[in-house]
């Protein structure tokens, strides 16, 4: 149920960037390989984290981002045809992708909440400053 809603929102947002040009050019293959290596390095760094919970969340979110990039860059548009098969993604990749999407959604909600709180503080401050001005 959630995926069709997400796709509607994405379609309304329109084209944010043209991913077809991201790894083009003479250094495209090297850049793509470097990108993959950086994700592996982040995952290795997470292994050194002492906190089990932090390690789990860090590795899950790294895998979720890697899965999103896999979906984005592994298939040429003409070969994709709008469908993935169950063989394209492992179960843990799908779980990590959905979990990461959820965490990003919560983060965006928090940003909106903090914006509102900041706006209230600014409004209150301006009102207090206006009350300090001498009346004419």
Q: Which listed residue (6, 10, 54, 113) is catalytic?
A: 54
48 flagged as catalytic: no
Chain position carrying tokens 């089990």: 52
Cα distance between residue 126 and residue 87, in whole Å? 58
Which token pair is 25? 């050019």
Whether the Cβ atoms of residue 118 and residue 81 lie closer than 8 Å to each other: no
**Does 51 qualify as catalytic in the annotation?**
yes
Q: Which of 2, 15, 16, 51 is catalytic?
A: 51
Hey, which residues are catalytic here? 51, 54
């Amino acid at each position: 149920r959630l995926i069709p809603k997400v796709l509607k929102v994405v379609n309304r947002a329109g084209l944010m960037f043209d991913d077809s040009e991201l790894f083009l050019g003479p250094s495209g293959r090297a850049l793509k390989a470097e990108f993959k290596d950086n994700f592996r390095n982040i995952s290795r760094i997470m292994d050194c984290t002492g906190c089990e919970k932090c390690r789990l969340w860090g590795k899950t979110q790294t895998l979720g981002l890697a899965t999103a990039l896999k979906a984005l860059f592994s298939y040429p548009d003409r070969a994709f045809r709008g469908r993935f098969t169950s063989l394209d993604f492992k179960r843990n990749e799908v779980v990590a992708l959905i979990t990461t999407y959820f965490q990003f959604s919560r983060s965006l909600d928090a940003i909106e909440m903090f914006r509102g709180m900041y706006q209230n503080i600014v409004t209150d401050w301006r009102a207090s400053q206006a009350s300090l001005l001498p009346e004419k």
